[in-house]
Amino acid sequence: MESLVVPVLILLAVAAGVIVAARAVARRQATADSVPPTPAANQADLARAAAAKLSEEEHRRLYALIAQGQAMAAIKLYYEVTGDGLRASRDAVGALAAHPQPYRGPEAPPAEADDEDDVPQRFPYRYRAIASKGDVTREVSSNMLNDEIYGRIRTLARNGDREAAATALTRHSDISMKQAREFIELLDD
């Protein structure tokens, strides 16, 4: 009889643990069901609000990380700079990647249109963007491109807005729309 006491006690302890866990799960489920889901914030508005929290240097660094596909580093940077929570930082970086925002200083009024600058800025260097898939490689070299602008173009292409990406690429380089479309097709990851 003594040899059965230990296994019976273990069995009773496991059963009690299962009952406690089942009650906790049921309680958590009831709490989750009673809280109405909050509507998702408009991604474009979230992106504008997130961009407003960044200085010009932070804005440039964040978009450089997004353009390089380093989402975790971008979230970490945003988290450290703004002090927002981790989930809020993840959502903000996702919105900024989906809806690229130009830097607007504290004195700059928000633009009414969602368009990029009408006249591209010319930089003192030539930027080379290279895209390849298989044995096909395309290169765009322009002094109207930089990491931030190319990052916005790649983000547009990745989000499925290839026409807008091609238009932006032709605006910031001296290539034709056909060449821009061919280049954008190679950006699929």
List Cβ neighbours of 158 (8 Å cut-off, separation of 6 or more): 187, 189
> CA dist 43 to 8, 21, 67, 152, 165, Å?
57, 38, 19, 16, 19
pLDDT, tens digit only, all 189 positions of the chain:
677 888 888 989 999 999 999 999 988 887 766 655 444 448 888 988 999 999 888 888 998 898 888 999 999 999 999 888 899 999 999 999 988 888 887 654 545 544 444 577 877 778 888 888 888 888 888 888 888 888 888 888 888 888 888 898 888 888 888 988 888 888 865
Q: Please give the model's pTM, rounded to 2 decimal places.
A: 0.40
* E strand intervals along the chain: 127-133, 136-142
Q: Which of 62, 66, 63 has its CA nearest to residue 79?
A: 62
Q: pLDDT at position 35, please? A: 53
Beta pairing, strands 127-133 & 136-142: antiparallel
